[in-house]
Amino acid sequence: MGTVTPLDPHVAISPAILYFGTPVSLLSTVDEDGHPNLAPNSSVWWLGQTAVIGVGARSQTGRNLIATGEVVINLPSAAEVDIVDRLALTTGRSPVSPRKAAAGYRHVADKFAEAGVRPAASETVTPPRIAELPVHLEGRVTALHPLGGAPSVADASILAVEVGITRVHVRESLRLAGHANRIDPRRWRPLLLSFQRFFGLGDEAHPSRLSTIDEEWYRG
């Protein structure tokens, strides 16, 4: 038998958060009066044409998703991180909850002005897109799921929101050459959040056997 390299031992810990690294988005929603809101989010994943977003039910975004059921998931690349950071510690809700105020949150009514970005009209939903960001996913809420054992959406403090994607806009420069409907993952540089800090992607880690499947196969 060859030499066995000793492994670094594991320790059991109890982290307050389990944010091991996920893409950052800015969620665009509107309230029942049509007033737009933006909020940074890092809890989104996709399967097929469905996105699932994790949001605080009592945030302005959570309330808007429940009330009007429409969203634009705007994705920044790592190059647009400053736009996201300008919206950190802000909420569209007034008054700010005591818990959030104690953490340093403040009310901001015009998040577009606060972030220094321009609204662009969406094509299938009411919430506006963010012109400065490279990817926009328009969508409609198809289901709301209370998380953390709450018996109903009304009782929940956090929600998983299922969103059917109705339109995808990407900057032309992100398209894979020769393919109308594909994004080049070597050009798309998502912004990631890991334990409250921002990161970009490193280099491609390894050839991918999965990528031998034609992307169109997933459309079925």
Ligand X SMILES: Cc1cc2nc3c(=O)[nH]c(=O)nc-3n(C[C@H](O)[C@H](O)[C@H](O)COP(=O)(O)O)c2cc1C
Residues lying near ligand X in the complex (CB under 6 A) are found at 24, 37, 39-43, 54-56, 59-61, 84, 88, 91-93, 105, 193
**How many degrees, rounded to 5, is the angle at CA 51 between CA 175 and CA 77?**
45
Element (H, E) at 170: strand 158-170
Question: 11 vs 17, which CB is nearer to ligand X?
Answer: 17
Please measure the distance between the N-terminal and C-terminal CA atoms of the chain and give it in whole angstroms.
49
Separation CA 80–CA 18 (nearest Å)? 24
Separation CA 106–CA 101 (nearest Å)? 7
Question: 146 vs 182, which CB is nearer to ligand X?
Answer: 146
- Residue 95: other Cβ atoms inside 10 A: 9
> 3-state class of 172 per DSSP?
helix
Separation CA 179–CA 165 (nearest Å)? 20
Question: 81 vs 168, which CB is nearer to ligand X?
Answer: 81
Q: Kindly state the smallest distance separating residue 126's Cβ from ligand X, in Å.
A: 16
Q: Are 75 and 44 in contact (CB under 8 A)?
A: no
Separation CA 78–CA 200 (nearest Å)? 6
Question: 19 vs 175, which CB is nearer to ligand X?
Answer: 19
Question: 55 vs 130, which CB is nearer to ligand X?
Answer: 55
Q: Kindly state the smallest distance separating residue 80's Cβ from ligand X, in Å.
A: 12
Question: 119 vs 182, which CB is nearer to ligand X?
Answer: 119
Q: Kindly state the smallest distance separating residue 122's Cβ from ligand X, in Å.
A: 18
Q: Kindly state the smallest distance separating residue 203's Cβ from ligand X, in Å.
A: 24
Q: Kindly state the smallest distance separating residue 105's Cβ from ligand X, in Å.
A: 6
> 3-state class of 112 per DSSP?
helix
Separation CA 30–CA 36 (nearest Å)? 4
Q: Kindly state the smallest distance separating residue 139's Cβ from ligand X, in Å.
A: 16
Question: 196 vs 212, which CB is nearer to ligand X?
Answer: 196
Q: Kindly state the smallest distance separating residue 91's Cβ from ligand X, in Å.
A: 4
> Smallest Cα–Cα separation from 61: which of 111, 22, 99, 20?
111
